Amino acid sequence: MNRRKFLKTSAAAAAVSALPTMASGESSQSKELAEIKAKTPQGFLDTTRSFEEFCATPAEDRVFYTLVKGKIVRERLDAEHWRPTGWGNPPALPVPGGSHDGVPMISPFPHLYGDGPFRADWDSLLNYECPEWYRDAKFGIWNHWSPQCVPEDGDWYARNMYIEGCGQYKNELQHYGPQSRFGYKDLCAQWTLLNWEPEHRMAEYKAAGAKYFMALANHHDGFDTWNSKHHQWNATNIGPHRDVIGTWAAQARKMGLRFGVTVHQARNWWWFQPSHGADKTGRYSGQPYDGRMTQADGRYAWWRGYNPQQLYNAKHPHNALPDISYVKNFYDRTRNLVDMHNPDLLYFDNPLFPLGWGGMNIGAYFYNHSKRLNGGTVEGVINIKNVPPRLAKSVVSDIERGLSAGILPYPWQSETCIGDWHYQRGLFEHPGEYGGYLPPRNVIHWMIDAVSKNGNFVLNIPGKPDGTIDRKEQLILAQIGQWFKINGEAIYATRPWVVYGEGPNVVRAGSFVGASVSDLGVQDIRFTRNKANTAVYALVLGVPHEPIVLRSMGLAPGVHATKKPVKVGHVRMLGYDKPVEWKQSATGLRITPPKSLPISHYAVAFEITLA
């Protein structure tokens, strides 16, 4: 397991173990808020200061809050003993209502959840019902795009370029110079998208079979890719000088696709702290990186008028809890994103809702906003991670680069990338037809396995800094689209059957283990059914040249998967217009594939009409 996977997985486990209890009514929350104020230091819940003001405060004057021996106490930065944080694993706070991500669940700001039936507590969110459009869509494409793709050196570049000895640190030093002079803020200006043709790109995604499209609104780097009202470091002001999210949204809707946005900014408090460090050895030893810079340092620079502290976040003690102004800024930016672009789907790269009251309130606000926009029906979808079973109905749980062991009772989502989350040129340059990318065979098998278990599947196609994708990515998209043209009927608008499948091989369950789909083969079958429950689809994870026997459809007691034997009326191979030889017996449904198979690489589908 690499460092990124370990950090996210360990933090997720801690988050779920510290899950707050169900919240109570508004009057009770008011009492709890008063109790929090009485038990915490003055300033901990100061609602009068903005994040902009917090970042403009001189480092020596900033006050932080930490948990020491079970109590929240004030603390100032000790520069001599400072060390950067990692992914962030804040403690549970001893406050009424509980906490998450080191932030109380009770909001110090009233009515952030907006007007509507949903409130910022799990009891209220459990009234959510996943919309039909999402359950029917099944397959989405994601554009995970930010200034981090400029060096074409993979994900987490903005953080790793400040970690001495890391490969991305070396790349930065070699190509751009020392990080004390040229930092991530300067890469933001080079994300130009000069060759971006959004209409062409969206048409390509639609041709690949996508029914919804997701775009990255911000990453842990803190750069917003829309015309953000509450954050000056955004794509309209810097880099492409256009509202990337707004452009994607218009094109997706023009093509008839649902549109989603992904928000990763909550981790910026911890994730970007290495930008405040300095080399410990070598030629530039002791020279602070550009995370030290303030607005005053840019007086004669291209970024004049911008405060880098708002991008990198304030340098803080290792165990500092997120400042209230930071949490409110997260809420304000995400709400602005929702209000401006009305996404159908809102994804958080976090276990549960991030940042305590900030995430819970924006989640409730999104559902209420969707209900108002859609004539009283909630059409919106929220993705969060590591959702315990008792809360699964409240959202659509997301499993990053992973799968489920079986059919889940509520819709869920699996997501992965054909390579690294941000563009990595080395994967394209790797020899072979698909380079170092996930081959279309594995993409299709992954998607089929997820759909058979009541899930959707999202595939990230990382974009290059000029707005294009490379030819190997295009080839993978084309082959996925070709498969969908023949077999889409077995995927779109389907539901899971009584069993997800059969065969000798299974995938590993959980996050970051989805590569186990490579073990699946032609002996493995996955099932879906139509919504009328009149037909079952058997998807063979390979191209069969010998008869297959579906044991789940046997007529003998103890053999069939259903309570009563399923009587088969007809069998048809998708993409093949001639009769298929089949026979149902006590031991199963035997299907003999035709010698001349349709052009359906990687998997074939049989429609089994029930008598």
What's the pLDDT score for residue 2? 58
Q: Do 57 and 163 fall into the same domain?
A: no
Q: Do 206 and 281 fall into the same domain?
A: no
Crossing angle between the packed helical segments 440-452 and 471-487, to the nearest 10 degrees? 40
Q: Do 378 and 301 fall into the same domain?
A: no
What's the sign of the alpha-carbon dihedral 326, 367, 492, 205?
A: negative
Q: Tell me how many domains the chain contains.
A: 3
Residue 397 and residue 393: Cα distance in Å, rounded? 9
> What CATH number corresponds to the domain at position 226?
3.20.20
Q: Do 277 and 381 fall into the same domain?
A: no
Q: Do 202 and 300 fall into the same domain?
A: no
In a domain, 488, yes or no: no
What's the pLDDT score for residue 87? 87
In a domain, 104, yes or no: yes
Q: Do 295 and 358 fall into the same domain?
A: no
What's the pLDDT score for residue 562? 78
Q: Do 184 and 328 fall into the same domain?
A: no
The kind and range of the H/E element at 346 are strand 345-351
Q: Which domain covers residue 138, as residue numbers?
A: 1-150+194-268+313-400
Among candidate residues 358, 377, 400, the one where a domain is terminated? 400
Q: Do 259 and 351 fall into the same domain?
A: yes
Residue 585 and residue 582: Cα distance in Å, rounded? 10
In a domain, 166, yes or no: yes
Question: Per the structure block, which two tokens stand in for 376?
Answer: 């009283």
> What CATH number corresponds to the domain at position 560?
2.60.40.1180
Distances (CA, A) of 196 to 192, 241, 275, 464, 468: 9, 13, 30, 9, 6
In a domain, 417, yes or no: no
What's the pLDDT score for residue 407? 98
What's the pLDDT score for residue 15? 56
Q: Do 308 and 320 fall into the same domain?
A: no
Q: Do 139 and 219 fall into the same domain?
A: yes
Among candidate residues 400, 418, 442, the one where a domain is terminated? 400
What's the pLDDT score for residue 258? 98
Q: Do 121 and 14 fall into the same domain?
A: yes
What's the pLDDT score for residue 107? 97
Identify the residue whose tokens are 């502290």. Answer: 309
Instruction: Pick out the chain residues at pLDDT < 70.
Output: 1-27
Per-residue 3-state assignment (H helix, E strand, C coil) for 374-410 = CCCCCCCEEEEECCCHHHHHHCEEEEECCECCCCCCC
Residue 229 and residue 608: Cα distance in Å, rounded? 53
In a domain, 132, yes or no: yes
In a domain, 20, yes or no: yes
Q: Do 343 and 260 fall into the same domain?
A: yes
In a domain, 205, yes or no: yes
Burial per residue of 125-164, b for 16 or more beta-carbon CB atoms within 10 angstroms, e otherwise: beebebbeebbebbbbbbbbbbbbbbbbbbbbbbbbbbeb
Interval 270-303: pLDDT, tens: 999 999 999 999 999 999 999 999 999 999 999 9
CB neighbourhood size of 229 (10 A): 15
Give 60's Cβ-side CA count (13 Å radius).
1
What's the pLDDT score for residue 563? 80
Interval 402-456: pLDDT, tens: 999 999 999 999 999 999 999 999 999 999 999 999 999 999 999 999 999 999 9
